[in-house]
Amino acid sequence: MEARVRDSRTAVITGSTSGIGLGIARGLAADGCNVVLNSFTDSDEDHALAEEIAREYAVKAAYLQADMADGAACRRLVDETARRFGSLDILVNNAGIQHVAAVEDFPPEKWDAVIGINLSSAFHTTAAAIPHMRQCSSGRIVNIASAHGLRASPFKSAYVAAKHGMVGLTKTVALELAEDRITCNAICPGYVLTPLVEAQIPDQMKTHRMDRDTVVREVMLARQPTREFATVEQIATATVFLCSDGAAQITGTTLSVDGGWTAQ
């Protein structure tokens, strides 16, 4: 099946072989974009996933391995995407990890890893993407931050610092590119029901001695007033909108998809 002609844009999404990143890749592919998937592995399954998306949505798709803890690898990912597809129109910085501990007990190597993958990688990919986007006289950068980019929680010092930093990076990049028809925005999800979050529910049930519905509503979604998870598809829809012509004058801002968390 031939690739669609209605949209020749190319998007690279970091950390996109599962969860939110994969949902965004599918959403952009459904909108007609060519997509590049990424993770730190390089398995047959990774490449098969790209092939599946290409078949399902009739677009071009590829998988490129890159360790987001390595700044040079982040930049190579962007440059290789542009080389293979002829342009780079959309960059979605989604890769991230988490570690939970009190500040005084937080392992320094974990701090460095969280800051590196969650924040520094976005700096490197963005810096590499800007020249390619300027060649096209347009572009979209979407940073997947978090409600923790706007609010804090105990025991998540590195994650909160990184996500606050991503929001600040978003604003700075938007101002620097304001006259270049390149927008930069951040999406700030609350709890999203991904396979990773789903896997945490049984442990939470044991810890709190609650059934599934109660532990979801009263523990995991305690700060989310709707008491409902956001979905991967909702984050993807928000991303597709920010990459659309209708969002051309939206830049340097945050879009919260958090069930009212940050309204409190």
137 with 216, same domain? no
- State the CB neighbour count (10 A cutoff) for residue 71: 17
Dihedral of the alpha carbons of 132, 137, 143, 149, in degrees to the nearest 10? 120
Q: Let me know if residue 171 belongs to a domain.
A: yes
Q: Let me know if residue 3 belongs to a domain.
A: no
241 with 215, same domain? no
Q: What share of the chain is helix, strand, coil (3-state, %, to 5)?
A: 50, 15, 35
112 with 153, same domain? yes
237 with 219, same domain? no
- Per-residue tokens: 5: 């002609």
Indicate which residue of 57, 63, 159, 191 is catalytic: 159
215 with 180, same domain? no
pLDDT in tens, the chain (264 residues): 344 434 589 999 999 999 999 999 999 999 999 999 999 999 999 999 999 999 999 999 999 999 999 999 999 999 999 999 999 999 999 999 999 999 999 999 999 999 999 999 999 999 999 999 999 999 999 999 999 999 999 999 999 999 999 999 999 999 999 999 999 999 999 999 998 888 889 988 999 999 999 999 999 999 999 999 999 999 999 999 999 999 999 999 999 999 999 999
User: Does the annotation mark 159 as catalytic?
Assistant: yes
Q: Let me know if residue 263 belongs to a domain.
A: no
CA distance 91 to 109: 28
Q: By C-alpha distance, which of 195, 198, 188, 235 is closest to 220?
A: 198
The per-residue pLDDT for range 144-167, each reduced to its tens digit, is 999 999 999 999 999 999 999 999
48 with 82, same domain? yes
Q: What is the 3-state secondary structure (H, E, C) of 191-246?
A: CECCHHHHHHHHHHHHHHCCCHHHHHHHHHCCCCCCCCCECHHHHHHHHHHHCCHH
253 with 149, same domain? yes
73 with 63, same domain? yes
119 with 168, same domain? yes
125 with 159, same domain? yes
144 with 178, same domain? yes
CATH number of the domain enclosing 180: 3.40.50.720
Q: Let me know if residue 42 belongs to a domain.
A: yes
156 with 224, same domain? no
**What domain count does the chain have?**
2
What residue numbers bound the domain in which 205 lies?
A: 193-228
Dihedral of the alpha carbons of 253, 258, 262, 264, in degrees to the nearest 10? 150
